[in-house]
Structure 1
Amino acid sequence: MVAAVTEPKLIHGDEPAAASRIGLIDHKELSATAFERTRMPMVISDARQPDYPIVLANESFLKLTGYAADEVVGRNCRFLQGKGTLPASIAEIRAAVAEERECTVEILNYRKDGSAFWNELHISPIYDDDGMLAYYFASQIDMTRFRNIQSLEESEHRLLMEVDHRAKNVLAVVESVVRLTRSDDAARYAASVQNRVQALSRAHVLLADRGWQDVALRDAISVQLDPVVGQRVHLEGPSISVPATIVQPLGLVFHELAVNAAVHGALSKPGGRLVITWSDSTEGGVDLIWRESGGAGSAGTTPGFGSVVLGALVEKQLGGTVDREWTDDGLVLSISFPKALGRL
């Protein structure tokens, strides 16, 4: 046990008049032995000296902090504080000491080697026989492992919540796919649903590869068009990223457009061509032009079932707008959508 600078007077209450001197000594020795041998780190500071220096520290405290006895005695406990210690925790301790009351504070402290640990610090005042403040007793509990486990559990909980949220988003889009797909022919219905779910899957893989962060608009377009139209498309526009929340419904939009162009539009013709350009909109979203050429008259001028699906995806899912124009050379679509769901 660290030698006392000023030996603290152990307070035991009123002793019976018949108490033996030997019994009193035994009681003090037992108290000192218990203080020294307990596995809980403990210190005692002298409240009668300036800056409350430590006068006693047990072996558990020395093991916890990594300091030797002569590096602890005579110093205020604040030497355990460091750059990560919150001012609010320090203020709470100071207030308790100033008001001579007990307090328990969880504070970030530092060992001699610089490693940090979370310390559940309990401080309690000790008074002498005259009722005057004499010492402060302080115990420490290393909460680092508990904190790490708690942090891991919180991270796992957030991950599960995120997975649940994403699953619900995907299921909502799948529900829309099933509901919007024409069902007058069973075989065609099954194939259409399968193709649209595959488009969702491609978007999902892209998101997973990007760590479920923002995705480049060019990548969100290419991953859907490459399997359907190959090299007959030209993409042009600035580097724009779209949030993960809209990549899947946006993927369905491009899948729907690509299939329509390949089956009914300009890309169903040998000389058909597709150019897609985009830019930032003044409202903070994206303006995109889908221009098909070389397939005049192939799709007609009446919106078909694909146009219904497209309108539902852009306007209902993305909160955007879509305008169609049939020119002498082919179809031109002007699509505007926000970069976040629910914002126009």
Structure 2
Amino acid sequence: MSTRVEKQTRFPAEFPDAASPQGLVDGKELAFVAFKRTRMPMVVTDPEQPDNPIVLANQSFLDLTGYSPEEVVGRNCRFLQGPATNADAVRTIREALAAERELTVELLNYRKDGSTFWNELFISPVHDDDGRLLYLFGSCKDVTQRKEANHLKAEEHRLLKEVDHRAKNALALVQGIVRLTSAEDPRTYAESVQGRVEALARAHSILAAGNWREVPLQRVITSGAEPFGRSRISLDGPDVALAAEQVQPLMLVLHEMFSNALKHGALSAESGSVSVRWQTHDDGRLVVDWQEVGGPAPAPDPVPSFGSMLIETTIKRQLDGRAGFVWQHTGLEGRLEFPLGS
């Protein structure tokens, strides 16, 4: 016949020194000494008492949490939880306690001073010979450094993927620049390529300053206009946030349009000016209207240039939109349309 283990809910305040031969009289005292002196934070709770309170906590647990013995004994361990403690982890603990089974789980806990630590919690039920649940044994392990290291590795992986994505986008734009740039002599070709790459660099600076997040459309257009004389360029439109991946393609398109206006259009004449207006539609499209006045008269049958081809290709492939241009007697009119990114 098995012998029922009698419960003890009160424990001696002091235990014998483990280094003293006469101190260890039996296995029970050895267990208590080990519990008290181990560096592993530990608690024992009594599930037969209301709300399963802590009945014993070692010094390591008090050191980890910052509480005194009086503030710990008699309380349920949930006082270590806080606003950011994961509800799923708490539910997992509750289910394991109800099923009287062992459990290992990681959750965010709070110290007395409000600081947090990641706790790898191990819970083990203690039964008597008849299978009656006597106590719950819990050990804690501060795994904050490991969690932070894993988070940094995950963040590093995410950033590397993002850098790879950005680099591919930039290379696609540079390939388009090289493929669609044409000139009669090497010097003109080099200047054209350099101007377009500098436009990408301006876009990169805007994105870097904003931590590669959304950028106000007006800031992009203003930056694109600055090298060409802002005094004859008017801008007007509502506040619009441009997705990070749309900034470089649009900057390249604006560079082509302003360059063309300076070389052949309204900005090539002292009295010429450029108006850029934009608006958003209910379907999420951004519409940018371009109008030049005061420049030289257009050719009777203007031939599409490599610049206009680059604009149309970039709008279509990089921004999933479309571009259209009409040469009026007053100057060039154009419209760019593309969906705003999220």
> Which bracket does the TM-score occupy, shorter chain normalised?
0.7 to 0.9
- 2:167 is matched with 167
Alignment partner of 2:287: what SS? strand
3-state DSSP of counterpart to 1:142: coil
Return the alpha-carbon distance in structure 1 between the equivalents of residues 240 and 129 of structure 2.
75
Distance 1:70 1:104 in 2: 27
Deviation at 1:230, TM superposition (A): 4.0
Instruction: Provide the rounded CA distance (Å) in 2 between the counterparts of 1:159 and 1:267.
Output: 42
- Aligned AA for 2:330? D
Counterpart for residue 100 of structure 2: 100
Deviations 1:229-265 (A, max 9, x none): 4422111222222111111110111110111111111
After superposing the two structures, state which structure 1 stretch, 169-178 or 41-50, moved more: 41-50
The answer as to whether partners of 1:40 and 1:60 remain within 8 angstroms in 2 is: yes
Matching residue's letter, 1:5: T
User: Cα 1:284–1:116, aligned 2, differ >3 Å: closer, same or farther?
Assistant: same
The match for 1:17 is none
Q: Indicate the residue corresponding to 2:9 in structure 1.
A: 5
- Quick one: structure 1 residues 47 and 330, their matched pair in 2 at CA, closer, same or farther if it must change by over 3 Å? closer
The residue type equivalent to 1:307 in the other structure is S
CA distance in 1, matches of 2:82, 2:337: 52
1:309-342 CA deviation, whole Å, 9 max, x = no partner? 222122232222222222221111122222139x
2:35 alignment counterpart:
35
Confirm or deny: 8 A CA contact 1:5 1:74 kept in the other structure.
Answer: no
Q: Is the 8 A contact 1:265 1:299 kept in 2?
A: no
- Measured in 2, the distance between the counterparts of 1:282 and 1:28 equals 75
Q: Which runs of 5+ in 1 are unaligned?
A: 9-21
Correspondence for 2:307: 306
Q: Identical aligned pairs, as a percentage?
A: 50
**Whole-angstrom distance in 1 between the partners of 2:272 and 2:24:** 104
Tell me the distance in 1 between the aligned counterparts of 2:226 and 2:23: 91
| Counterpart for residue 3 of structure 2 | none
The aligned counterpart of 2:249 is 249
Larger mean Cα displacement after TM superposition, 251-260 or 52-61:
52-61
Shift of 1:291: 1.0
- Between the two proteins, the alignment pairs up a number of residues equal to 325
How much does 1:183 deviate? 5.5
Matched, 1:132 2:132: yes
Matches within 5 A, 1:226-241: 226-241=226-241
Structure 2 vs 1, CA of residues 318 and 82 (structure 1 numbering), >3 Å: closer, same or farther?
Answer: closer
Deviation at 1:157, TM superposition (A): 2.5
Residue 216 of structure 2 aligns to which amino acid in structure 1? Answer: A
The Cα shift of 1:72 comes to: 2.1
Q: Normalised by the size of structure 2, how large is the TM-score?
A: 0.87
Contact 1:5–1:73 (8 Å) recurs in 2 = no
Structure 2 counterparts to residues 1-344 of structure 1, below 5 A = 5-7=9-11, 25-182=25-182, 185-302=185-302, 303-340=304-341
